[in-house]
Structure 1
Amino acid sequence: MKKAILYMIISAIAFTLLNVTVKSLGQFSVYQIVFFRALGSLFFTFPYLIKNKISFYGNKKTLLILRSVFGLTSMLLFFLSLRYITMGTAVSIRYIAPIFASVFAVFLLKENIKPIQWFFLALAFSGVLVLKGFGEDLQIEGIILSFISAVFAGLVYITIRRIGDKDHPVVVVNYFMLISTIIGGLLSINSWKTPVGYDWLILMSLGVFGYFAQLYMTKAMQIGETNVITPFKYLEVVFTTIIGLLYFSETYSIYILLGMLIIILGLTLNLVFKKK
């Protein structure tokens, strides 16, 4: 379990760097950003699978495709939300995903959730209500996009758990990146903007950050229990908010910060109870 937690922390750092890079690419369409984010990761996954003589097809093909579709939908909606609201807020709302993951885990994975844990998860969800109700400067479009992204992220966690150790983590990530590259490329045709100069380097770095973020998240989810591991992704909220304040000069009202704190508190309490 300690190794799974470490993997999730590494994933949170990589996701933070990915968020910052996406935020800085506002001149490109979201579809094009998805395309480059996925394409860049394929430069890691394909050589790895070939070198280690691992089958590209995998064993749980249906689940691998489902995980990819869920992940692509969540990623696309989240990138869109960054066009409307601050990074820290978008990340906070998106990562109420453990709430949905916990609900799905009860029905699909037959995991047990104690009544007190439901209270903690409800507390985390109330943080979103604080953001929505008192964050006057928040655009409703961004909130809705992040919220739906969280639902699909919860489905991603559950699908990965269903895959378990039947498929190599890189196979799981490769499926996701390949499908995202194809769909992202097709959707970006009408709005394509050719990168110039350093834009190429920045766009391709999306794949680097995204690859390690997805790889270590996948590893963590495969060896750890959903309800324990997923809350550690909330470190991304802290990292992203700090960078948003310092680098993008984003502003956060006291109510927005309070809502983010409630979300983190609820999931942290759930984690502590689960460990006991």
Structure 2
Amino acid sequence: MEFSSELIVLAGVLLVAGALTGVLAGLFGVGGGALMVPVLFEAFGFIGVDDAARMPLAVGTSLAVIIPTSLRSWRAHHARGAVDSDLLRRWAVPIILGVLVGAVIARYASPIVMQLVFVVVAGVNAIKLISGTRRWDLSPELPGGWLLRVYGWIIGLLSSLMGIGGGQIANILMTLHGRSIHQAVATSAGIGVLISIPGALGYVFAGWGRTDLPPDAVGFVSLLGVALFVPTTVLTAGLGVRLAHALSRRALEIAFGLFLAVVSLRFIVAILN
């Protein structure tokens, strides 16, 4: 990859996107992947990455960037006493197993599979949050036993395929079971830690030996993308946390829902094209 004006523009785009990602990580507890994946997808196309590798490369790079972002976001929310640490402990193993299965699927599945998962999960969450409906609520509490573990496995699997920190899916499940949006956001930040580390490693191995990746890539993780995103996301995550605790429950739901709706529409366009 030669140093050129295009790469300078790319670096600038990634730095700005990284700053926005950090704010979103703290504000919504989503790790920022819902923004990073579409941005990286476009950026890799800009520098000529093959279409077959663009989506998994964007997903893997997103998971790698989410590692420090989620750690910072989780620590800030934990300091405010908003994280359900017991739930995180019970979900840890199922989530990690789901993440690893998702990484294996990513090596062999069409990129459209990952785009469709992204659209369905983000779209359903957007509708629920914007409408404010409680008709979808399943019960006032999360289930226990094997069903709770299945929930964790689903969070890990879908998050691995989407390149997110699990916030979108965990928010759906927790709010459907009577948890407040603020607690769901805070706990999702901790879930991002559980997902991002094994997820990034899984995508490194899933893309190992591919010849259609840029020179800076290690498997399906772009080192350039990580280097440009991480500093800005870490610096701005704290601002997002402060915004989250300043907003009302309804304002936070609407803001998150509108954001997810925009992301879903973008990938629908990509699938149709």
TM-score, normalised to structure 1, is: 0.43
